[in-house]
Chains A and B, each alone.
Chain A
């Protein structure tokens, strides 16, 4: 995936107003199958996977024994004993290692990342584009009946196609998992079908500004093994009432006074960037920005940052140290941008 095809901003706006096409084949995919698959995932991941319905998707977290976030993943239930787990590319080896530590019978875990390409179509025109793309057939359920965080099966050129209504942009959209050999043809077919709708290929820069506006965390920035889920606002993802799962004991014992993730907005055009200090009204450092940019959609700087709980209330006035210049910023509820639906 390139940083950009033409212009970061043009690609960003295309996704908000029409659609963008992302090659996210770098993402890692694992299948977890067998009679014990659901039980294994209940233990591996922070959420309750065993009660998922077939056809649904669920955002979840892989925690270490200290409760830190090894990776954030999406789990798709494909059958009673058949799950697909999509994780971040950069954490593929770590996720594989965690899976590899599991002992017992009744499940098989396979890293299928090298067999499949993943193509995302994101934006208000995404559904029409996928529906109109020649070669995509047998989609069940039809996309008009497919809910958010759910998936349809189908075929492309006669081969199995997996279409998930998920994404990382804050827009409606789909992620299409296709065997490698068919990926170039599917990419070209989607681009051609999408052109009349304003679809453009979009790169990593747009992907980052889109997810940031949508308040979505990026592992390595808002999530890491040094950050507990509740700090990143993901307490709801953790099913503390499960019997046992990785990290549970540490989370139960964790302090409730740790820094928490907030949104910050500022005026002007100078954005705070990852690593810049957040200051309180007296100028004392109280936190650090994890991601920040001049929001292309909103036209003002936005950032996510960790600050003490006492300073996390929306409306709290803080400052950002932008390379020596102190810029006023206000704590705001996430996300910064929410699509009309």
Chain B
């Protein structure tokens, strides 16, 4: 079970776990529930640079298309091919189904929302 209080969040419903200078990014269970069954995930290429607040991938469900926003700026060092192969894993455990790892300035991650602020953002539903 993920310690949700140890993660950072964005208003685009991504979660971010920082380890050293690598940020691991996924979407929250709240976002996964809103999307419905995820059937397609497209992630940025390893080695590409993503920019905070800009679209870097797609998450598609049977009913809708969602965009993945980069929560922080940096170089993509790893992507989770297992989720691309099995998109439904995002619905299974959104906090285990990480999407990308980005090399970042740790201060950028510190500036994101904490758990309480994120829960407040969702009106307490998250």
Q: Which residues of A contact B (CB under 8 A)?
A: 3-4, 7-10, 12, 205, 208-209, 269-271, 273, 293-294, 296, 323
Q: Which residues of A are found within 8 Å of B40, using beta-carbon distances?
A: 269-271, 294
Q: Which residues of A are found within 8 Å of B87, using beta-carbon distances?
A: 269
Q: Which residues of A are found within 8 Å of B10, using beta-carbon distances?
A: none
CA distance in complex: A208, B64 (Å): 12
Tally the A-B contacts, defined by beta carbons under 8 Å: 40
What's the least CB distance linking B45 to chain A, in Å?
15
What's the least CB distance linking B83 to chain A, in Å?
13
Q: Which residues of A are found within 8 Å of B36, using beta-carbon distances?
A: 3-4, 7-8, 205
CA distance in complex: A294, B61 (Å): 9
The answer, yes or no, to whether B29 is at the interface (CB within 8 Å) is no
CA distance in complex: A8, B62 (Å): 7
Could you tell me if A271 and B60 are in contact, using CB atoms closer than 8 angstroms?
yes
Set A3, A12, A270: member contacting B60, Cβ < 8 A: A270
Q: Which residues of B are found within 8 Å of A205, using beta-carbon distances?
A: 36, 62-63
Q: Which residues of B contact A (CB under 8 A)?
A: 36-37, 39-40, 42, 58, 60-63, 65, 87-88, 91
What's the least CB distance linking B94 to chain A, in Å?
14
Could you list some 13 contacts between A and B, CB below 8 A? Answer: A4-B36, A7-B36, A7-B37, A7-B91, A8-B36, A8-B37, A8-B61, A8-B63, A10-B37, A205-B63, A293-B62, A294-B39, A296-B62
Q: Which residues of B are found within 8 Å of A7, using beta-carbon distances?
A: 36-37, 91
Could you tell me if B62 and A209 are in contact, using CB atoms closer than 8 angstroms?
yes
Q: Which residues of B are found within 8 Å of A9, using beta-carbon distances?
A: 37, 39, 62, 88
Q: Which residues of A are found within 8 Å of B39, using beta-carbon distances?
A: 9, 269, 294
CA distance in complex: A271, B22 (Å): 33
Set B63, B65, B88: member contacting A323, Cβ < 8 A: B65
Residue of B nearest to A325 (CB): B42
Q: Which residues of A are found within 8 Å of B42, using beta-carbon distances?
A: 270
What's the least CB distance linking B125 to chain A, in Å?
16
Residue of B nearest to A293 (CB): B62
Known: A4-B36, A7-B91, A8-B36. A294 touches B63 (CB 8 A): no
Residue of B nearest to A269 (CB): B40
CA distance in complex: A294, B39 (Å): 8
